[in-house]
Structure 1
């Protein structure tokens, strides 16, 4: 669903009424042009705030909303985690979102055709708003979390947890060390759904329909999200297959299929549902975690309840029509 943010409340194309929060720590593994000059030239009246170490995006936005001139639009330059958090705040404060690619993968903004900062600013200047659906994740009795791409439990969160433990090695070496450790340590976890239990390597829950050929549905595929697309990888194969399932590039997956390392189709269960309710129990001594949009969340070591639901037309984002 698309529309225009007309009326006197519409910020001017110069950026008046726009708050942009920039997460400089995002996307450090890729070479990316500094957007400072672009912001100054195209959005001279916008307020641009760069996050510093230890500063919370929630606190920055809350302070801005409590000021004498609260922003009419919330903007974010960062990776998927930062964009997801700002989307949550945009929903909380009922503000449209200007999302700009400043991370490594930029899954959500790419799904909306926002391949660079100028395209996003063009949409903002034109008042081109698109309503998109999101997923919400609720862990135990916590508040719902806005999810733009995917929620996952199992092999992928365990790999991220291993990588964060080795962050002092750098992203590349830490990733290699984490993968090697995961090849030796990854174990299936148990999920309970609708009175049935299963041992699985992983579960991926994506906002909206996704590529049927993939197990790790990391990247959102469509702006609209009226359903959850769930992939359950049952633990009937080796650890190598469990990690091979995390290949989300088509070429990599094709190579792994050719050498028969990719999970068998019979081991993957797909559900297309409006909501999902799981009880997640890891093996003793293994991490009790889940990941949403690349952000790792720790839970009780004994396990946790994870509920996911779709919310259609939940967020207004500046994007090309």
Structure 2
């Protein structure tokens, strides 16, 4: 059954709309400059391009303190930028306009926004949805809004290694990081509901996800009132640990065919409203987690990760179902 739409302020010209653009998003793909589209379709919008080192929250805070604070908070960027703006939209009680400007754009694709035109059409029509998110807290830090997935283990370590090799570029850095991970990745220890386990990875997806996948990178449900958890227990090789990170159906099918994908018996699946996880990496290994592609470093000895599903927590522009 299609989700009921939520009427939102319609703004065909962009009046009352702030769009923050992260020029660094989607650097690994060729993407047309959106400036001509914004100038032609949204002449009354405020378009702010983040300067190098500028924080998105600071840019939004300054706009909200102005004499004419925006009625709509928009962002052109990848999943990380969109999740940060979603958090600010919730904080300032504003609807979110999310426009795809990253490499994968998992969240906006789940909304049915495959290009800028689809997002701007929803803005012009004033159609939207109330969607679920997850709120994630590491130790005593401030909670963050998560739109797709939070993960610990092999995937965050791979991202951490790739960022260390960022001078090689995203593609070459990824290849080098994968090669290093094949030789060095180690299981970590988690404690969940009093049970201690050695695992390769844990993925906590916002909403129910594809039962055949371990790495649930892309959100599958829009409303999302639960967390779908995949725990890959460390009973296999490093090759299987990295093979589990395949999130494309075709890639996963090939890995299954050649018997490199993790065995079903090694994957524990849970559907819960909330989750508290104690994470203990091996000495000398990265103490990190990833949410929506964003890497977060924690205390070297480990951290406590709390994830809570929040139904209907975010109002976002979206096309009619």
Give the corresponding residue for 1:150: 149
Match of 1:218 in 2: 217
Structure-1 separation of matches of 2:132 and 2:23: 27
1:2 positional shift: 2.0
Q: Secondary structure at the match of 1:40?
A: helix
The alignment partner of 1:197 has SS state of strand
* CA drift at 1:273: 0.3
Does the CA contact (< 8 Å) of 1:11 and 1:73 recur in 2?
A: no
Deviation at 1:11, TM superposition (A): 5.4
Residue equivalent to 1:267: 266
Contact persistence 2:231–2:268 (CA under 8 A):
yes
Matched residues in 1 for 2:48 and 2:248: separation?
34
Q: Any unmatched runs of 5+ in structure 2?
A: none
Q: Equivalent residue for 1:228? A: 227
Show CA shifts across 1:225-283 (max 9, x none): 11000000000000000000000000000000000000000000000000001100000
- State the number of aligned residues: 317
Please say if residues 11 and 126 of structure 2, whose CA atoms lie closer than 8 Å, have aligned partners that are also in contact: no
Counterpart in the other structure of 1:127:
126
Partner of 1:310: helix, strand, or coil? strand
Distance 1:256 1:195 in 2: 33
Partners of 1:194 and 1:28 lie apart in 2 by 40
Answer whether contact 1:11 1:17 (CA < 8 A) is retained.
no
Structure 2 match to 1:2: 5
Q: TM-score, normalised by structure 2?
A: 0.98
CA contact (8 A) 1:192 1:198 kept: yes
Q: Secondary structure of the residue that 1:311 maps to in structure 2? A: strand
Q: Please give the secondary structure, in 2, of the residue aligned with 1:13.
A: coil
- Measure the CA separation in 2 of the matches of 1:48 and 1:226: 33
Contact 1:11 1:72 in 2 (8 A): no
The residue aligned with 1:252 is 251
> Which residue is 2:70 aligned to?
71
Q: Please give the secondary structure, in 1, of the residue aligned with 2:252.
A: helix
1:198 Cα shift?
0.2
- Deviation, 1:89, is 0.3
Determine if contact 2:276/2:306 at 8 Å carries over to the other structure.
yes
CA distance in 2, matches of 1:192, 1:282: 12
Most deviating of 242-251 and 23-32: 23-32
The aligned residue for residue 43 of structure 1 is 42
Which runs of no fewer than 5 residues in structure 1 stay unpaired? none
Distance across 2 between alignment mates of 1:213 and 1:31: 31
- Quote the residue 1:104 is aligned against: 103
Deviation at 1:95, TM superposition (A): 0.2
Task: Look up the SS of the partner of 2:218 in the other structure.
Answer: coil
CA contact (8 A) 1:152 1:204 kept: yes
Residues of 1 paired with 2:81 and 2:6: CA distance?
Answer: 25
How many Å separate the matches in 2 of 1:259 and 1:71?
A: 53
Cα contact 2:22–2:81 (8 A) shared by 1: yes
Aligned to 2:167: 168
Give the distance between the partners of 2:32 and 2:160, measured in 1 at CA.
30
Cα deviation, residue 28, structure 1: 1.1
Counterpart-to-counterpart distance in 1, 2:11 and 2:307: 37
Q: Matched residues in 2 for 1:218 and 1:208: separation?
A: 12
Q: Is the 8 A contact 2:10 2:125 kept in 1?
A: no
Superimposed CA distance per residue, residues 201-221 of structure 1 (whole angstroms, 9 cap, x where no aligned partner): 000000000000000000001
2:11/2:125 contact within 8 Å kept = no
Counterparts of 1:320 and 1:29, CA distance in 2: 27
Distance of 1:11 and 1:74 partners within structure 2: 13
Task: Tell me if the contact between 1:112 and 1:222 (Cα under 8 Å) persists in the aligned partners.
Answer: no
Q: Judge conservation of contact 1:206–1:229 (CA < 8 Å) in 2.
A: yes
